[in-house]
Amino acid sequence: MCLSTPYWMCVEIEGSPDLPYVYVNSSGTIKNSKPIQVVSTCSLETYAFPFDIQNCSLTFSSVLHTVQDVDLAFLRSREDIKHDKKEFLNDSEWELLSVSSTYSILQSGAGDFAQIQFNVVIRRRPLVYVVNLLIPSIFLMLVDLGSFYLPPTCRARIVFKTSVLVGYTVFRVNMSDEMPRSALSTPLIGVFFTVCMAFLVISLFKSILLVRFLHDEWSHGQEWPLLCLRGDADADGPRMDPRAQLAGVPEPPIRRDPQVQPGSLKEVWFQLKSISTYFQTWEQADRKGVKWLALLERLDRLLFQAYAILLGLYTVTLCSLWALWGSSSTLYRAECKSHTSSVS
């Protein structure tokens, strides 16, 4: 007996259980039922992992004896096979959906050979992979989205996003053994993990860019000269506010009439005028700093919206591909069932 799956391979009789008895009825018919244990392989399509549906084809035929010598027949009807299919693969990773069978005669130059083909349709139970792979990855992405509520001036945001990225990397390394290995196709879930890591890197780069803009603005004009009031104690005069230096406002000059005597009303007036100029400069710097922070917050909000839209579009696309694969597999199973019923 040989088996095609789709590669031809012979079944060893020694590997099957031996039954040392036969059935003899009153009409003289002798029935020798010998079970055959078949160990086969099936080429799996892991594109939609873990929501994949596999179709394994098993074809039994004799390559030495023609249909006139050895004929093949079903021991049970197709309805009986459909009724007790739940007895197979009950507690395993796979769920048996259907077992369709067809009988045909293969015509060749050496003669006609009888063959029986079984199409075993199985579906992977995805719950364990959803809990161990998809849900933790989604939680980490939600945590990264939540980090956008930190103000752009908070440098702890970069530390937080770096921690999320490192945690996601460790998660991917630990869960790599759960992924199917195939050199022919890449599962959609593998692409999902890669794109999620790319989103985390983009989010971290965006935060670094905002902090860099803020640092450049703060470091603009690092010299903080003293705003001195002309008098006997120049070192005790008020300082130029750093925000005035950030705003690029020059230090107000202090002019003094050389004819004004110290302690006179004009000297007091010049001192009050210097203080007034100082507070005006401080107010201008404060307004410019507020405008700059508002611009950064608006830019951060815009980048967050673009980030969320791209992440949402990718999620919808991935779910659509999974749903499309599931619908196409369901349609294929329906065609197989209709073909089997037409043959019978």
Residue 102 has, within 13 A of its CA and on its CB side, a CA count of 17
Kindly indicate the confidence band of residue 247, based on its pLDDT and cuts at 50, 70 and 90. very low
The reported pLDDT for the residue numbered 33 is 77
Kindly state the tokens that stand for 231: 């008098």
SS3 labels along the chain: CEEECCCEEECCHHHCCCCCCCEECCCCCEECCCCCCCCCCCCCCCCCCCCCEEEEEEEEECCCCCCCCCCCCCCCCHHHHHHCHHHCCCCCCEEEEEEEEEEEEEEECCEEEEEEEEEEEEEECCHHHHHHHHHHHHHHHHHHHHHHHCCCCCCHHHHHHHHHHHHHHHHHHHCHHHCCCCCCCCCHHHHHHHHHHHHHHHHHHHHHHHHHHHHHHHCCCCCCCECCCCCCCHHHCCECCHHHHHCCCCCCCCCCCCCCCCCCHHHHHHHHHHHHHHHHHHHHHHHHHHHHHHHHHHHHHHHHHHHHHHHHHHHHHHHHHHHHHHHHHHHHHHHHHHHHHHHC
The band of 164, judged by pLDDT with boundaries at 50, 70 and 90, is very high
Q: Is residue 47 located within the same domain as residue 69?
A: yes
Do 89 and 158 reside in the same domain of the chain?
Answer: no
Flag whether pLDDT at 139 surpasses 90. Answer: yes
Distance CA 161, CA 144 (A): 7
Both tokens assigned to 258: 């050389």
Same domain, 136 and 119: no
Cα 178 → chain centroid? 14
Same domain, 103 and 32: yes
Indicate whether 16 pLDDT > 70: no
Confidence at 243, pLDDT banded by 50, 70, 90: very low
User: pLDDT per residue over 264-286, tens digit each?
Assistant: 666 666 666 677 676 666 655 55
Do the strands 30-31 and 2-4 form a parallel or antiparallel pair, or are they unpaired? Answer: unpaired
Q: Are residues 186 and 83 in the same domain?
A: no
- pLDDT for position 168: 93
Confidence bin at 246 (pLDDT 50/70/90):
very low
Least confident interval from 74-88, 100-114, 169-183, 211-225: 211-225
6 and 113: one domain? yes
Judgement on whether residues 10 and 105 belong to the same structural domain of the protein: yes
210 pLDDT tier (thresholds 50, 70, 90): confident
Q: How many domains is the chain built from? A: 2
Radius of gyration (Cα) for the chain, nearest Å?
Answer: 40
CA distances from 287 to 182, 218, 247, 300, 301 (A): 60, 14, 9, 20, 21
Residue 340's pLDDT band, with cuts at 50, 70 and 90, is: very low
Q: Is residue 287 in some structural domain?
A: no
Is the pTM above the cut of 0.85?
no
Are residues 6 and 86 both part of a single domain? yes
Give the model's pLDDT for residue 245.
47
Q: What is the mean predicted confidence (pLDDT) over 224-244?
A: 41
DSSP β-ladder status, 2-4 and 53-61? antiparallel
Indicate whether 210 and 134 sit together in one domain.
yes
Tell me whether residue 111 is in a domain.
Answer: yes
Confidence of residue 28 (pLDDT cuts 50, 70, 90): confident
Query: Between 272 and 115, whose confidence is greater?
Result: 115
pLDDT tier at 3 (50, 70, 90 boundaries)?
very low
Query: Is 329 a member of any domain?
Result: no
83 and 20, same structural domain?
yes
**Last residue of a domain, which of 200, 219, 238?**
219
| Predicted confidence band of residue 85 (pLDDT cuts 50, 70, 90) | low
Alpha-carbon distances of 335 from 224, 296, 330, rounded to whole Å: 81, 58, 9
Residue 39 lies in a domain: yes
Please check the confidence at residue 309 and state whether its pLDDT lies above 80. Answer: yes
In a domain, 28, yes or no: yes
Q: Residues 47, 11: one domain?
A: yes
Range 22-44 average pLDDT: 82
For residue 171, the enclosing domain spans: 128-219
Q: Identify the CATH number of the domain in which residue 62 sits.
A: 2.70.170.10
pLDDT of residue 223: 39
Same domain, yes or no: 141 and 194: yes
Peptide bond into 50 cis (omega under 30): yes
| Residue 330 counted as domain residue | no
Tally of residues, the chain: 344
Which of 93, 125, 157 represents a domain boundary (last residue)? 125
Distance CA 203, CA 166 (A): 13
Q: Over 70: is that where the pLDDT of 256 sits?
A: no
